């Protein structure tokens, strides 16, 4: 029943997206992309709806079921009645794909699946940070009835009562609708977000650059063992990475389809859901807006496209309003509010902390993702061989991505320096998590900038080699006929 | 402790199962453990107790009227209770007891 609820939430997301980008149903890149984005869309909408119902009408299950049912019916009806409009997302032209990138992706999917299932079977409640924060809050929302605000009590300050509610509200909604508290809900949500992120990355790169880049990026993402492990630990970082990727992907698609402003609106909505997932998402929202304005000013002849930015703001407004309301009226005190200004200044002026942070980053650069060969080195070799070639229509989008990710990372690290007490411990426990939040979007930017990649298909190679061999045999036979017996093979 | 079968969500939910059924929302309990102060699993055990007993609020303090005692020995440590001005109220077994704070 829990899984059915989640499937319904996913369908609601798909319905809304199909209403925004309607194309015929069937097996296509466009629909795979819609299904991948649909996970985040459904999760975000359902979570916001649950929170609003809770705030406005209390924890009544009947009312919740009615409102969820009505929203679901509306979303599905919108998706079904939508008529074909605009161009579908289709595979960009690219080189012929040999069999081995596909086999590698299949292997990465199988390994990621095995790793995820193994981890959640061993640890169905997730890691301590997951159950003691996210799932604990979901339990309060589900079990406490009218006292659901106890979840944000100052007596529970160690549970970070200012953390936003996308995940706990979504889990609690699944439990409410299915009337049972099961670990299947958080596990299935984590599963959908991690594989949805890979689907979204592959779908977007497939439409922007072609199949080979889509295959490579998805293989690297699912081959990032710590990404899969973090997802199975049931933390909020992988859903956040999904929304960061989605927001940037929409802006990349916007620049390729300048007439369809719905991409900008969806980018805003996804950024808003990022803020509703974790506090780091709020940093990303600020970084994205600043990055987009700078990129458009730089690459659009210093003219800001008002309609695009307006759509971005319109998409961002509803989830951001919910986040602001939550922070002002519901959430408990922030961890940061307890740190005195003198400590912040002292931390800022301490060069040792900056050195510790750089040391931590260098270590992470080589350990990141638990690859056998450091991924930074692999990508550096790839860049050396293939180089970057950025097409003119992608420049603003790529600049937006690079700036937004850099600003987000910079602010997160600065906050660590200013506020975190035990920085070496933070470097060990959190730096990789912070980088993983940005990793899918960084892969999108990397492969969007990648130069043309030519992989000779083995079939073609084999055919060419067979033809060459046949020509050689004919030539030698001719030479033999002309009286040169040494030229005949085996003579 | 972290490697023992008594640690982890499933083990704690089983240990606290009987007590959990008596818990009401909006109740605040204190929490006391016989773990050594430098035991690294003591904090995780407190978190597990809170996770298990939600929607009640569990505070890491023995100054509440009702205090949950998480003990690892065979019997409640009466010296620990006296030192914290607590009186046993109900022992749920499995190392879980509810105590009342004395007025003095």
pLDDT of residue B7: 65
- The helices-and-strands tally (H runs, E runs) of chain B is 4, 5
pLDDT of residue A95: 80
Please list every residue in chain B whose beta carbon sits closer than 8 Å to the beta carbon of residue A128.
Answer: 44, 47
Please list every residue in chain B whose beta carbon sits closer than 8 Å to the beta carbon of residue A146.
Answer: 25
pLDDT level of residue A466 (50, 70, 90 thresholds):
low
Does the beta-carbon distance from A132 to B51 stay under 8 Å? yes
pLDDT of residue A470: 66
DSSP-derived secondary structure letter, A358:
H
Q: What percent of chain A has pLDDT over 90?
A: 70
- Name the residue among B95, B2, B80 with its Cα closest to residue B40: B2
Report the run of H or E that residue A329 belongs to, with start and end: none
Residue of B nearest to A140 (CA): B55
User: How confident is the model over A267-275, as a mean pLDDT?
Assistant: 98
pLDDT digits (tens, 9 = 90+) for B40-64: 889 999 999 999 999 999 999 999 9
pLDDT digits (tens, 9 = 90+) for A215-234: 999 999 999 999 999 999 99
pLDDT of residue A490 exceeding 50: no
**Better-predicted residue by pLDDT, A23 or A49:** A49
pLDDT of residue A488: 44
Question: Is B1 near chain A, with CB under 8 Å?
Answer: no
User: How confident is the model over B1-6, as a mean pLDDT?
Assistant: 50
The SS3 of residue B97 is: strand
Which of B44, B57, B59 comes nearest A150 by C-beta?
B57
pLDDT of residue A459 exceeding 90: no
Tokens at A334, concatenated:
């922030």
pLDDT of residue A429: 86
pLDDT of residue B41: 87
pLDDT digits (tens, 9 = 90+) for A151-180: 999 899 899 999 999 999 999 999 999 999
pLDDT of residue A376: 92
- β-pairing, B66-70 with B57-59? unpaired
pLDDT of residue B31 exceeding 90: yes
User: How confident is the model over A410-425, as a mean pLDDT?
Assistant: 93
- Report how far residue A338's alpha carbon sits from residue A164's, in angstroms, rounded to the nearest whole number: 19
Interface residues of chain A, partner chain B, Cβ below 8 Å: 124-125, 128, 131-132, 135-136, 139-140, 143-148, 150-151, 153, 155-156, 158-159
pLDDT of residue A489: 43
User: How confident is the model over B92-102, as a mean pLDDT?
Assistant: 92
The SS3 of residue A229 is: helix
pLDDT of residue A39: 95
Query: What Å distances lie between residue A412 and A348, A366, A425, A430, CA to CA?
Result: 14, 20, 16, 11
pLDDT of residue A468: 64
Question: Is B50 near chain A, with CB under 8 Å?
Answer: yes
Residue of B nearest to A158 (CA): B47
Tokens at A19, concatenated:
């209403």
Which of B9, B28, B55 comes nearest A131 by C-beta?
B9
- Report how far residue A383's alpha carbon sits from residue A275's, in angstroms, rounded to the nearest whole number: 33
pLDDT of residue A461 exceeding 60: no
Residue of A nearest to B51 (CA): A136
**Better-predicted residue by pLDDT, A391 or B85:** B85
User: How confident is the model over A67-84, as a mean pLDDT?
Assistant: 88
Does the beta-carbon distance from B55 to A140 stay under 8 Å? yes
pLDDT of residue B5 exceeding 60: no
Residues 6+ away with beta carbon under 8 Å from A155:
B28, B57, B59
Most confident of A148-157, A269-278, A450-459: A269-278
Residues 6+ away with beta carbon under 8 Å from A239:
A40, A43, A166, A167, A189, A190, A193, A277
User: How confident is the model over A294-316, as a mean pLDDT?
Assistant: 88
pLDDT of residue B104: 60
User: How confident is the model over A351-380, as a mean pLDDT?
Assistant: 92
Average pLDDT, whole number, for chain A? Answer: 90
Does the beta-carbon distance from B55 to A147 stay under 8 Å? yes
pLDDT of residue A487: 45
């Amino acid at each position: 029943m829990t899984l059915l609820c989640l499937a319904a939430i996913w369908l609601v997301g798909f319905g809304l997206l199909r209403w925004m980008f309607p194309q015929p149903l069937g097996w296509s890149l466009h629909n795979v992309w819609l299904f991948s984005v649909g996970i985040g869309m459904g999760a975000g909408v359902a979570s916001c709806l649950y929170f609003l119902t809770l705030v406005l009408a209390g924890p009544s299950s009947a009312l919740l079921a009615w409102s969820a049912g009505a929203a679901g019916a509306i979303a599905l009806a919108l998706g079904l009645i939508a008529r074909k409009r605009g161009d579908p997302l289709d595979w960009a032209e690219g080189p012929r794909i040999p069999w081995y990138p596909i086999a590698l992706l299949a292997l990465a999917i199988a390994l990621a699946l095995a790793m995820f299932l193994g981890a959640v079977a061993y640890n169905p409640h997730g890691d301590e940070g997951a159950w003691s924060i996210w799932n604990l809050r979901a339990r309060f929302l589900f079990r406490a009835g009218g006292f659901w605000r106890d979840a944000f009590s100052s007596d529970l300050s160690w549970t970070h009562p200012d953390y936003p509610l996308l995940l706990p509200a979504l889990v609690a909604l699944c439990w409410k609708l299915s009337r049972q508290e099961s670990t299947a809900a958080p596990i299935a949500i984590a599963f959908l977000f991690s594989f949805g992120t890979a689907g979204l990355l592959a779908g977007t790169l497939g439409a922007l650059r072609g199949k080979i880049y889509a295959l490579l990026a998805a293989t690297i993402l699912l081959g990032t063992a710590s990404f899969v492990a973090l997802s199975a630990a049931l933390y909020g970082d992988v859903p956040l990475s999904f929304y960061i990727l989605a927001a940037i992907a929409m802006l990349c698609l916007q620049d390729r389809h300048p007439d369809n402003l719905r991409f900008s609106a969806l980018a805003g909505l996804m950024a808003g859901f990022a803020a509703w997932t974790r506090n780091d998402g709020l940093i990303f929202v600020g970084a994205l807006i600043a990055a987009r304005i700078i990129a458009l000013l730089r690459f659009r002849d210093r003219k800001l496209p008002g309609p695009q930015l307006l759509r971005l703001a319109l998409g961002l407004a509803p989830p951001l309003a919910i986040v602001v309301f939550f922070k002002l009226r519901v959430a408990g005190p922030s961890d940061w509010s307890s740190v005195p200004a003198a400590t912040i200044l002292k931390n800022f002026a301490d060069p040792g902390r900056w050195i510790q942070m750089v040391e931590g980053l260098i270590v992470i650069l080589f350990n990141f993702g638990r690859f056998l060969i450091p991924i930074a080195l692999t990508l550096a070799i790839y860049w050396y061989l293939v180089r970057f070639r950025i097409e003119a229509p992608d420049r603003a989008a790529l600049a937006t991505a690079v700036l937004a990710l850099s600003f987000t990372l910079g602010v997160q690290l600065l906050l660590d320096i200013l506020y975190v007490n035990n920085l070496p411990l933070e470097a060990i426990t959190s730096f990789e998590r912070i980088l993983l939040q940005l990793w899918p979007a960084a892969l999108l930017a990397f492969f969007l900038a990648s130069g043309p990649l030519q992989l000779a298909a083995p079939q073609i190679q084999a055919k060419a080699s067979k033809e060459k061999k046949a020509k050689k045999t004919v030539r030698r036979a001719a030479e033999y006929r002309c009286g040169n017996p040494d030229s005949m093979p085996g003579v | 402790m972290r490697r023992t079968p008594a640690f982890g969500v499933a083990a704690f939910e089983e240990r606290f199962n009987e007590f959990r059924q008596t818990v009401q929302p909006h109740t605040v309990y204190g929490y006391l453990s016989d773990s050594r102060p430098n035991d690294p699993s003591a904090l995780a055990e407190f978190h597990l107790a809170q996770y298990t007993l939600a929607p009640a609020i569990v505070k890491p303090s023995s100054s509440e009227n009702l205090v949950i005692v998480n003990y690892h020995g065979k019997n409640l440590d009466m010296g620990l209770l006296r030192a914290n001005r607590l009186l046993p109220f109900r022992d749920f077994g499995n190392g879980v007891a509810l105590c009342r704070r004395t007025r003095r």
